[in-house]
Amino acid sequence: MKNTVCFVLAGGRGERLLPLTRSQPKPLLSYAGIYRLIDFPLSNCLNSGLERIFVICQYLCYPILDYLNKYWAKKGIIKYITPQQGFGTGWYMGTADAVYQSLELIREINPPRVLILASDHIYRMNYMNFLREHLEKGAEVSIGAVEVPTKEAYRFGILGTDDMGWVRYFTEKPRYAKMVLESKKTCLASMGIYIFNTKVLFEALSWDAQDPYSKHDFGGDILPWIIRKHRVYAYNFSRQDAYWMDVGTINAYYEANMELVKERSSFALYDPSWPIYTYQRQLPPAYTLLSFQNSFISPGCCIKGEVKSSILSPSVFIEEGTEVSDSIILEGVKIGKYCRISRAIVDERVKIESGTVIEGAPISVVTKEELKKKAPISIEEVRKKKIAQRA
């Protein structure tokens, strides 16, 4: 099984994560202060003993390549592919096209199976268990799947299976899913990770490339076609009672980070048997003058105010008198004196002036551009409004 080749798809624009992805590729968004989203599939591969890994990049690819070269490429198991390196003539037209343009590479390696992975999910998974079940079932394609509330079906690709786990239909992000009509509380959603027998992958991608009406997407085009022609199995990851989160939206990104600072978090980072690897710059230890509670404080931070239920990336400076709560503060942010920041995501290297109040309703995303468009409320303005309300 270790001769399986892995492709990590890291080329998407991440439009649902704007404005955070305007200048930062989605796979490099911070998680828990020190990690990047792409660290999770790569760590899962490494911990699973899979050492032939290709990362497919496109949008803002150079920061991704720089990050991979700083840490992952040094392990000698990671290689990356950009559109210019495939046999296509331009940018990838979709997730399926990204792999299609690498078919010559796959043909040269000639692996028995190909594992396709996304780069924007938070989870620990032993891919060997996934591969083992794929082989035991005699599947030609296997889809990693999790159970989600039916009311959230519109966010995912939804699988319909029989009692043995064989996929009978697939609907990409349905507004009116069949599960809703059947009044089920949960439905089975694709995790966006797939195992293909190589011959079947070649057949499917070659067919898709010739279809002028295709959007060249695994979920929207490849899976519906392949289910009609091949044995497709759903590997139910929820049976392991394991955590999985798709952080493809601002709300999901915020909730995934805030889950970590709960007293009883659903996802524990402290598992020495399955470490999450990452690149870290050499920075001094964090310095805290006052108090912090239920928070992650990364190296290089200097905290003179109060921090509660928040995640601070490296090199964050918070001045005296400032209160930060229920927030994600990304790398290099500087917050002045006597500020109040609540339910906010503050983008990298933003400078917040003294006396500023930012309170999310439900979440405020603070970038340099957003600060220019709309000045945050000052504490003095808040005080005046309260006095006016009492009058």
| Residue range 218-231, pLDDT digits in tens | 888 899 899 999 99
Poorest-pLDDT segment among 66-80, 112-126, 320-334: 66-80
Alpha helices in 177-230 (DSSP H): 178-181, 198-210, 223-227
Q: Of 39-53, 65-79, 178-192, where does mean pLDDT reach its minimum?
A: 178-192
pLDDT at 383: 56
Does domain 287-390 sit in CATH 2.160.10.10?
A: yes
Taking the C-alpha atoms of residue 122 and residue 268, their distance in angstroms, rounded to an integer, is 11
Which of helix, strand or coil describes residue 17? helix
Query: Across 89-103, 206-220, 341-355, which has the greatest mean pLDDT?
Result: 341-355
Please, are residues 156 and 173 in contact by the beta-carbon 8 Å criterion?
yes
CA distance 126 to 117: 13
Write down the pLDDT at residue 211: 84
Q: Is the pLDDT of residue 86 over 50?
A: no
The β-bridge partners of 77 are none
With a cut of 60, say whether residue 217 has pLDDT above it.
yes
Worst-scoring range by mean pLDDT, 233-237, 298-302, 319-323, 362-366? 362-366
Six token digits for residue 375: 């000045």
Residue 5 has pLDDT above 90, yes or no: yes
Q: Is 266 helix (H, G, I), strand (E, B) or coil?
A: coil
Q: What is the pLDDT of residue 137?
A: 96
Query: Would you give the DSSP letter of residue 61?
Result: H
More confident residue, 74 or 113: 113
Identify the band that residue 215 occupies on the pLDDT scale cut at 50, 70 and 90. confident
The 10s digit of each residue's pLDDT in 239-268 is: 887 899 999 899 999 999 999 999 888 898
* Percentage above 70 pLDDT, the chain: 90
pLDDT one-digit tens code per residue, 194-212: 999 999 999 999 998 888 8
- Distance between CA 172 and CA 170 in Å, rounded? 7
Mean pLDDT to the nearest integer, 52-72: 88
Of 49, 115, 105, residue with least CA distance to 77:
49
CA-CA distance, 140 to 333, in Å (whole number)?
49
State residue 174's pLDDT score. 79
Q: Kindly list the domain boundaries of the chain, sorted by start residue.
A: 5-259, 287-390
371: confidence class by pLDDT, cuts 50, 70, 90: confident
The predicted structure's pLDDT at residue 84:
55
Residue 143 has a CB neighbour count (10 Å cut-off) of: 32
Identify the pLDDT of residue 386: 53
**What is the CATH number that goes with domain 5-259?**
3.90.550.10
Mean pLDDT score, 344-367: 92
> What pLDDT is attached to residue 350?
96
pLDDT greater than 80 at residue 65 = yes
Name the pTM for this structure. Answer: 0.89
Average model confidence (pLDDT) across the chain:
88
- Is the dihedral angle over the CA atoms 14, 20, 21, 24 positive or is it negative? negative
| Residue that wins the pLDDT comparison between 378 and 172 | 172
For residue 90, which of 197, 6, 252, 216 has the smallest C-alpha distance?
Answer: 216
To the nearest whole percent, how much of the chain has pLDDT over 90?
57
Least confident segment among 4-18, 129-143, 306-320: 4-18
Q: Which residue has the tokens 């759903």?
A: 234
Mean pLDDT of 84-105: 75
